[in-house]
Amino acid sequence: IVENDSIWYQDTVSGVTTRLWIAKSCSGINSVIIFLSAYLAYLISNKNLEFHMLFLVIFGILISYLANLFRMAIIVIIGYHYGIDALLWAHENIGWIIFTTWMIIFWKISSYFENEIGKSNILSP
């Protein structure tokens, strides 16, 4: 059951109905700020603030937000299936695992596009 900023679910391990309160800090804004700070610092330090990089910034913000929604869903699913102790562990650890994985994938994507754009700039007159 979803009610305002709370989710009520029955813990299948204990059989107890649990209320999970979703705080404003769970919104993912911190992840987006960390992503933006890291990526913009990277672009500035490499003097690569070109207009086409805006696409990657917007893409990164969107996927960072979606990764946070995925994190919240995983936490609730773990709590439902494995109990409150597993939920608490997941709450402490799943976020940084998902975010770190996303950042590695993003940096690979970003490097690929930067290399492709660099090649096309070298070949153009």
Query: pTM for the whole thing?
Result: 0.75
Q: What is the end-to-end Cα distance of the chain in Å, rounded?
A: 61
Question: What's the pLDDT tens digit per position in 59-110?
Answer: 999 998 899 889 999 998 998 899 889 999 999 999 889 989 998 999 898 8
95 touches 67 (CB < 8 A) = no
